[in-house]
Structures are given as structure tokens and as C-alpha cells.
Amino acid sequence: ISICRDLPNIEVITFSVNGISDLEPLNQCQNLSELYLRKNNIASLNELFYLKNLPRLRVLWLSENPCCGSDPHRYRMTVLRNLPSLQKLDNQAVTEEELSQALVDGEEITAPPARRSVENGCPESTESSAAESTTETEGELLNFSLEETNKIREELGMKPVPRDKFSSFSPRETDCNRKKRNNVLNAILLLMKELDAEGLEIIQQTVGRRLQAFRKKELQEE
């Protein structure tokens, strides 16, 4: 997700199910208001250190990461203590009572996590991600991917994608190359928001030419 360092004005980011472990690149996204990180490899709640200075962050989806641990109350209280401006956490509204309780039950994070030698998004050991893949059903992955993709399209003023027109990577495709391709797709959708009408027209023309080339190639192969 290093591309996020070059997107200071981005407002919505969805990187669910992508093997992400490091949130440091997000600390430059000062306009970020919604962040979807469900089912990644975020091991420590200390990664929240990089989100504490994002003044507009209101929605965070962090569930089903290793950092959530076995105590849901402690996890939620710690997140809310460090990100008290959140209005929704893991698709559940935040209450004033929770924010007050978080000051008592939550742990304050004052430092970033220790650096890991494994490159973000491409862990050397795929054992944990493979275990996640076996428990993730394809239908569940499709539902969340479709929901988050349509959220971005709504932000871009685009029509939502119908379910029968939407395709998603199989949860068994956990190799690094496919994760990178998924990240590129998300990044393209996010970057589109930065373009004006002229820029979007250029993309439309380029995509049209690429599609024609692919179709021509398919016909030749047949």
C-alpha cells in the first residue's frame, strides 16, 4: 500500500483480504475518512499509531485481523481510545458511552510497532494466510468485495456494479502476484477520483482500445 504515500487527498480506501501488515503509508492521508482493512495480516494494535493523526477518519473496518485477539471488548476499547473520532468501527456504530469506557478499559498507544523484516503484503510464510483462505468462503469474499467496490464507485459518482457482473479473486489465490494485482485494481479506482472530466475521458478511450485488443486476440485464438 506504499502508493498511499502519494495520495494525500484520498478519502476512502478499501484493502480488505490483501495480506497487509503495515499501516505506516497511511499516515500521509490527511483527508482519509473511511478505511476498510478486514481480513489482513495486521498483527499488532500498535499499527493504530499511524492512524492517530488522521483528523477526518470516521469509519474503520479492522475485524478478522490477528491484532483483534481473543478479547473483543479490550480490542474495541483500545481502538476507540486511540481513535476517539470514529463514528463506526467494524460496521458497528460507536456510542458516547463506549468512548467514555474506552478511557478506562482501552490501552493507549504511544509508539509505532517494531519493524518487521517481512515485506508488507508478501509474507515469506503463507501458512497463516492459507489457513484464512480455507475458512473464507468464496461467497463471503464476493459479498464484502462487492460492497466495498460499490462504496468506492458511489464516492466516484459511478453506478454500482450488479452482483452478476462482478468478479472477485478466489480466496485460494493467495500468492503475492495476485495480491499485487488486486492492490493495483484498488489503486486505479481510488486514483480516478483525482481526475477531472478530461482525464476520465482519456482513461475511457484507453480502456476501450485495450478491450478491443483483448477481444481481437481472443477471436484469433479461437
Tell me how far CA of residue 149 lies from CA of 85, 166, 218, in angstroms. Answer: 24, 10, 27
**In the prediction, which pLDDT does 136 show?**
45
The mean pLDDT value for 204-208 works out to 79
The Cα–Cα gap between 15 and 41 comes to 11
The CATH number of the structural domain formed by 2-105 is 3.80.10.10
Whether 40 and 103 have beta carbons less than 8 Å apart is answered as no
- How far is the C-alpha of 184 from the C-alpha of 169, rounded, in Å? 13
Query: What pLDDT was estimated at residue 65?
Result: 94
What's the mean pLDDT in 18-39? 90
pLDDT per position as a tens digit, 101-149: 999 999 999 998 876 544 444 444 434 444 444 444 445 445 555 666 6
Q: Report yes or no on whether pTM surpasses 0.85.
A: no
**What was the pLDDT predicted at 180?**
58
Residue 6 confidence (pLDDT) above 90: no
DSSP-assigned states of every residue in 13-62: EE--SS-----GGGGG-TT--EEE--SS----GGGGGGTTT-TT--EEE-
For the chain, the domains span 2-105
For residue 105, the surrounding DSSP H or E stretch is helix 96-105
Task: Using a pLDDT cut of 90, give the percent of the chain over it.
Answer: 37
Judged against a pLDDT cut of 70, whether residue 151 lies above it is answered with: no
Instruction: Using the predicted structure, report yes or no on whether residue 77 has a pLDDT greater than 90.
Output: yes
Query: Residue 215 pLDDT > 80, yes or no?
Result: no
With 60 as the cut, is the pLDDT of residue 169 above it?
no
